[in-house]
Amino acid sequence: MTDRLQLTRNCQFYKIKTKMSGLYIKSILDAAVDNMCKDGDFILNILRKKMDIEVDKRTVSCKVSVRVYPSEKKVYFFNDEIEDKIHAFIVIIEYGSYIGVVKKSCSNITSVTEQRLSLVDSSQLGATIDTNEVEFQKLTLRNITVSDKAMRTRSYEAADLKGLLSPHAAGRSIPSAIKYRDGSSIRSISGVGRFVEASPRSSLEDITKWVVSCIDSISASQFADNYLNTFAKKIALPDVLSSCVPIAILIEVNSLLDKIDSDDCVIKYTPRYGEAIKVSERVCQRLIYGLEKVHEVVGSQYKVNGECDNTYLRVNSNTITLRSNLLSRFKVTNNEDEYTLQRFIVKYGFYSVAFSDPKYMYFMGKCFEDTSGVSDIQGILDILTPKTELLKVNSEKGDFSSSSTSFSSKSMFKAVEEIHSNDDFIFCDDLGIEWADHITINQNEACINFIHSKHGDISTSASKLHDVVGQGIKNLGYVYSSVEAISERANKKFAGNYNTNKQSTNISRVRKGVMSNLDSSLETLFKNYALHRKCVLSCSFISKSLIEEEFKKIASGTKVKGHVIQLLWILSSFIHASKEANVIPVVYCLP
């Protein structure tokens, strides 16, 4: 009979805390089928059947439990007592120290699973990803804030977000949903620890092999040091409470309403005397309005100020929960389960708690620490691009005279032109209302480069970098200039020679390229779907090896001088500003 099962790869994983028994597995199954039709019967009912399967050229043993049964679901769009008949299933796969649960349309099993199991969260699943091999296609991030003046949630989508998503302040962001491509497979991880892989429906044996393979990856978790470490890190609640206290709570109203809607729930209210009644639209809106505000937490008892009297946070050794007399009088119910609104909010983690130290936040039942700055380090080092052409540089523009036709051989401007000697067009835009010091166009790479140059003695000082970063950020607005704007600039400013207030020269502003081909080249380039722009800082005063040495001290917690921290934040700000403008940041430097 089990060969008739055709399932999708959609599973939640649990770590076994205490020894499992057949009686306990049966209690999970019984909780799941609580919504079975009154006169229904099991289509499949298997308890802990041993299966020997081959995974990665080895034979392993596991236990599989299955129930398939008919259920009824209330029809909420019709004002009468009618129900849809549906079929539900639950599959429990026991292997090693974990179990995998694949289910659909069952009753909630959390009250039973939390007795002896702990849900494998998204951060543990994320540690199974070899981020050097996969492409992150979508990320949903929750910022470490409960402020009503700040953006709380952001979502990003691209062919591969690595290298595109700004690392600036990434440490203040908690990934709540991840979608990535691994070879030909598309996979996703949700904030509630659900792991999904897009695939055709498979047999029970194939699903079991997949679950066992996933559990092996979770047990190994060999990719702990990966791209996801750029974001906020999980931290134990006792470590947070040793140095600070909760000061505010925010109910995640949008997530709460989405869950109520997706589960076809209704909200009821129980008066002091009488039976529960469905709340009116007006009362529901007032409730939502009260919940969506940020509420202050005060005193040693962690009282929550606001419309809800007698509301407190309950701070335990590893969790923070909510206790409210008013929210306990509201009920969230469907034809299967009923919870108090307080229990519903706590059960699904629809609340965030802020602390007196703003670098911490409690979210979805876990504590997270802002690692901004430290988490930016690898991303910053990645944009530092050593160029041997800068080793000879001893000035920014060099010396020139009225007869000069090029910049001095040891000048930064000359070095930049040598670095970009393979580009199709090189323009010198220095002086006046400039877009950059140099603008180059590379047809083959489908790239336009806006280059800003600065020379100085080798140093980790932030002052010189501050100037050139400011120049680069200021000119980001010109990076997306149209074909017409670039062509007009070429026909006017670039048509002349490079002249300063003190000296005229014979240096053409068109350093390379046939101007008669410019318009057609631009037209072709702007139609190329692969067109991208770079904002380049060419800095002869920066040595990657020196910066790497200082930044690694920061990462290890070693104290560094103040100007090194400033250097970190200036570079981080440049990366952030560039990537927010969809521009690739690059810094040319010494080895």
Same domain, 473 and 573: yes
Lowest mean pLDDT among 193-207, 392-406, 445-459: 392-406
Q: Would 33 be classed as within a structural domain?
A: yes
Same domain, 335 and 277: yes
**Of the candidates 230, 257, 287, which is a domain's last residue?**
230
Same domain, 189 and 301: no
Give the pLDDT score at 374. 63
State mean pLDDT over 380-406. 87
Give the pLDDT score at 87. 92
Query: Do residues 61 and 216 lie in contact, with contact meaning Cβ atoms separated by under 8 Å?
Result: no
Cα–Cα distance measured from residue 545 to residue 551, given in angstroms and rounded to the nearest whole number: 10
Is the confidence at residue 147, as pLDDT, over 80? no
State mean pLDDT over 370-393. 81
Same domain, 407 and 547: yes
- Torsional class of 196: left (φ above 0), alpha (ψ -120 to 50), beta (otherwise): beta
Alpha helices per DSSP H over 263-310: 281-291
Is the confidence at residue 30, as pLDDT, over 90? yes
pLDDT digits (tens, 9 = 90+) for 300-335: 888 988 766 688 999 987 889 988 888 888 988 876
Same domain, 514 and 435: yes
Q: State what percent of residues in the chain have pLDDT above 90.
A: 29
The model's confidence at residue 373, banded by pLDDT at 50, 70 and 90, is low
Domain that holds residue 125: 2-134+183-230
Cα–Cα distance measured from residue 321 to residue 337, given in angstroms and rounded to the nearest whole number: 21
3-class secondary structure, 487? helix
State mean pLDDT over 337-341. 84
Better-scored residue on pLDDT, 499 or 32: 32
Same domain, 256 and 209: no
**Structural domain tally of the chain?**
3
The model's confidence at residue 382, banded by pLDDT at 50, 70 and 90, is confident
Q: Considering the chain, what is the average pLDDT of its residues?
A: 86
pLDDT digits (tens, 9 = 90+) for 107-145: 888 889 988 998 888 778 888 888 778 899 998 888 777
Q: Which residues contact 524 (CB under 8 A, 6 or more apart)?
A: 443
The model's confidence at residue 10, banded by pLDDT at 50, 70 and 90, is very high
